Amino acid sequence: MKKLLLLIIGLQASLYAGAQTTGYSSHGDSLLSRWVIDVNAMGGILMQDYTTKNTLANYPNAVNSNLGHMNFTNGGSVGGDLQVGYFWGKKRHFGVGTGINYMYQFGDAGLKDFHVEYQATDYNNNIYRQVISSNYKVSDNLTINNLNIPLVLKYKNRFSKHWGFTADAGAMFNLQMVNDYKTNGSFNYEAIYKFADGSHTVYDNSPVPASTDYFITKAEFLRNNPNGNVQAYFDNLRAQGNNVGLNVTANQSKGTVKYNSGSVGLLLRPAMNLFLSDHVALNFGVYYVYQTFKNDAMSDYMVTRKVGDYNSSLKSVSSVNTHNVGLNVGARFFLGKAKDRDHDGVPDRKDLCPDDSGNIAFQGCPDRDGDGIIDKEDKCPDVKGLLKYNGCPDTDGDGIIDQDDACPLVAGLPQFHGCPDRDGDGIPDKDDACPDVPGLAQYHGCPDTDGDGIPDNEDKCPTVAGPASNNGCPEEPKPTAVPEDGRIDVSTPILFDINKTTIHKSSMPILQEAAKEVNEYQDAYIHVDGYTDATGTKAYNQKLSVRRAAAVKGALKKLGVNGQKVKTAGHGESHPAATNKTSEGRMQNRRAIIEIRSSKK
């Protein structure tokens, strides 16, 4: 329930905050009647905290006794009130109200763990120990009639045509608090006799009765007569005049307890107003009522003494605090009527445009686009705008009104008629193929970083000049495989692409010649050295050079060379054949060198 109340209050606050942004003046309350009649229906949960009088002294020489714990459960409340209110001041936000409040309330007043043992005298004037216990929780089912006079401070704020906020806060003067109860109480009445001699009894006040005592208890009977009829046993003794019995209910199960009237409580009741007209509004909200009551507890109070007697536990209550929280639904009626021929909520006497329905904030004149500028002063009356532009909008906030802005949704520059140029290259974004990178007009705003005549967005190698036939990338020279005299030089470097180990077809003649020569000589073998350029880390380049040498070895094996006659080594980026500062130099460094050696030293 607490979470529900917090949710409702939060919803009220959000509606209020949202409505405040609509431009509807809070002076709308000044147009409503000062006098109101409020009718409210209330319903929720009821909680009560009891303070009870200690009545153990009413049980003479009590031992092993517990008067029990009293609590209130299953509480609820329904009812309502009728109030008349008056609001003062120019804005009429604050007022006072009074009337009559009636709440029908209900719940269970419970007494748990009741057990007493005390000195008593039986019908033959014999002293004995009386033992009384509740069989279970004693519950008084209550119906409560609670009548009050509220005296409250009222607040209201109509913040839109249909919505408003209202609240009551003040005192509740109690006229009547009557509790009608019906109990389910059931008790066991048992007895313990101690004989001083054969015929006289005395009170055994020991917490543990002597084993020689005479027990009229359920436990003792069943111990001696496991299959006996214990209920009949007690009924027979009771018929003889003994104050004993099992499962005895109250002879009078109904009764009434009245609390002292005149207490002063607290009422809090916030609500949202839904205005059906200027004369009727519905209220939806929550409420909280706190009341405290005094009670003249019986000085000689005992829950029960004789078999079948019962006094409600409410009669032991000296004070009670009640908390009533729940939902409120009601209606407010505004008395009186003001003339308003255009029905805009502004009385004709205050309406500057009495024949044209308008906004209360503008004394009855219209503002069709709701921008805070009345139509007769608005150059764009059907579109929300700004005061500095005479009511016309500047959606992108670039200082150029939308009707003069070629790009009204994106902030831009005056020289481009309100269109932006994010990269500052003098070409507006709407005409710029590369709006985030400064470029050239001849390439529609795209740059040509390497100056090869191919714009970067079409250049696969934008930082290195190359021909269009190779998509802007430089053509790497193919290794020379055949010298001028027609012989193939096996020491000609085998070149690789960047970060690759693939052998070009143009290098195959070198491998074929090397395979041919090593296979002609029994003592010959091939040594392959792999290298890289300086791109990447040294550790990575070392591994890459080893893989390149291994790739050459694999190709030789496919050409019929015994793998044992091919040795490889990787040297990473060491021993460069050319500079690593140019693409041409790095191309020459990405290589593998074949050398045919003799195994004879």
CATH superfamily assigned to domain 494-598: OmpA-like domain (3.30.1330.60)
**pLDDT for 138 beyond 50:** yes
Q: What is the pLDDT of residues 463-492, one digit of tens each?
A: 877 777 788 787 654 443 333 333 468 889
Sequence-separated (6 or more) residues with CB below 8 Å from residue 569: 527, 528, 529, 530, 546, 549
Query: How is 150-167 classified by DSSP, letter by letter?
Result: EEEEEEEEE-SSSEEEEE
In 3D space, the residue among 133, 122, 121 whose CA is nearest the CA of residue 248 turns out to be: 133
3-state secondary structure 105-121: EEEEEEEECCEEEEEEE
Q: Which of 80-84, 146-150, 298-302 has the lowest mean pLDDT?
A: 298-302
Integer Cα distance of 576 and 234 in angstroms: 118
- Least confident piece of the model among 15-29, 153-167, 248-262, 332-346: 15-29
The reported pLDDT for the residue numbered 425 is 83
Predicted confidence at residue 452, as pLDDT, reads 78
pLDDT digit string (tens) for 541-576?
Answer: 999 999 999 999 999 999 999 999 999 999 999 999
Residue 409 pLDDT greater than 90, yes or no: no
Using a pLDDT cut of 90, give the percent of the chain over it.
63
Provide the pLDDT for residue 268.
98
- Which residues 6+ apart lie within 8 Å of 132 measured at CB? 114, 115, 116, 117, 187, 188, 189, 190, 303, 304, 305
DSSP string for 363-397? TTB--TT-SSS-GGG-SSTTS--BGGGTTB--TT-
Structure tokens at 490: 């096996």
344 CB-near residues (< 8 Å, 6+ apart): 351, 357, 358, 359, 360, 364
pTM: 0.55
Average pLDDT over residues 332-339: 82
Strand pairing partners for 99? Answer: 83
Q: What is the average pLDDT across 77-102?
A: 96
DSSP state at residue 240: T
Q: How far apart are the first and last CA of the chain?
A: 101
The helix/strand/coil state of 493 is coil
> What is the predicted pLDDT for the residue at 348?
67
Burial 15-54 (b: 16+ CB within 10 A, else e): bbeebeeeebbbbbbbbbbbebebebebbbebebebebbe
| pLDDT of residue 438 exceeding 80 | yes
> What pLDDT does 389 receive?
84
Least confident span in 301-315, 324-338, 408-422? 408-422
The average confidence (pLDDT) of the chain is: 88
Tokens of 4: 């529900």
* Residue 422 pLDDT level (bands cut at 50, 70, 90): confident
Instruction: Please state, in angstroms and rounded to a whole number, the distance separating the CA atoms of residues 454 and 461.
Output: 10
pLDDT of 312 higher than 60: yes
pLDDT score of 5 more than 60? no
Residues 21-60 pLDDT 10s: 444 444 478 878 899 999 999 999 999 999 999 999 999 9
User: Quick check: 280 pLDDT over 90?
Assistant: yes
